[in-house]
């Protein structure tokens, strides 16, 4: 038989864990539009077989940021908007230290997840309010906040700033 204190402690513990367990039990919806991004590998939440597919609306629904920055590939400051990569990883339940990010042309970059914990790195979907096209590094572009953190302007970070992103592999 539980004492009053033990029972209250158990109730508090269960109430604290309830939101977490509901979030884990919530399946990802199946995309209704064109799939822009696929995550595969060691993920907890999938919606198509053992992969997580995202259309534009699903990506826009994730917690995101606006980054106003110069990039090594554009003239002038651009206003980029998209979901935080760390929010995407949380959504699929990826808990790893490294990712492989693949572009439409099969270019791949190894990216430490610590980048996404340390900085507000986004999957840019728009520049200056317009959707990124393939001609403009889209439809998805791994974008670091270069102007906020000039120390990011390194060769290593430029190689991690994959454009034309189509897949994230979670090894």
| Residue-wise pLDDT tens digits, 36-53 | 999 999 999 999 999 999
The model's confidence at residue 14, banded by pLDDT at 50, 70 and 90, is very low
Q: How many CB atoms neighbour CB 161 within 10 A? A: 22
Furthest C-alpha separation in the chain: 71
| Residue-wise pLDDT tens digits, 47-70 | 999 999 999 999 999 999 999 999
What does residue 101 show for φ and ψ, rounded to 5 degrees? -110, 125
pLDDT of amino acid 68: 98
What does residue 133 show for φ and ψ, rounded to 5 degrees? -95, 170
CA 125, 126, 127, 130 torsion-angle sign:
positive
Query: How is the chain split into domains, by residue range?
Result: 30-170
pLDDT of amino acid 19: 40
| Residue-wise pLDDT tens digits, 128-156 | 999 999 999 999 999 999 999 999 999 99
CA atoms of 158 and 146, how far apart (whole Å): 10
Closest CA to 171 of 90, 81, 95: 95
60-75: string of b/e by CB count within 10 Å (b at 16+)?
eebebbebebebeeee
The yes or no reply on domain 30-170 and CATH 3.90.420.10 is yes
């Amino acid at each position: 038989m539980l004492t009053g204190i033990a029972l209250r402690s158990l109730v508090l513990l269960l109430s604290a864990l309830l939101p977490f367990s509901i979030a884990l039990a919530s399946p990802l919806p199946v995309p209704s539009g064109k799939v822009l991004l696929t995550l595969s590998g060691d993920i907890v939440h999938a919606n198509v077989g053992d992969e997580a597919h995202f259309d534009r609306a699903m990506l826009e629904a994730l917690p995101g940021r606006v980054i106003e920055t110069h990039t090594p590939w554009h003239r002038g400051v651009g206003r980029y908007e998209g979901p935080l990569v760390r929010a995407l990883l949380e959504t699929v339940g990826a808990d790893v230290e490294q990712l492989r990010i693949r572009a439409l042309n099969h270019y791949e970059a190894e990216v430490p997840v610590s980048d996404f914990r340390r900085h507000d790195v986004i999957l840019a979907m728009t520049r200056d309010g317009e959707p990124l096209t393939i001609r403009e590094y889209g439809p998805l572009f791994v974008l670091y906040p270069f102007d906020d953190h000039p120390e990011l302007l390194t060769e290593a970070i430029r190689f991690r700033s994959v454009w034309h992103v189509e897949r994230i592999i979670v090894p």
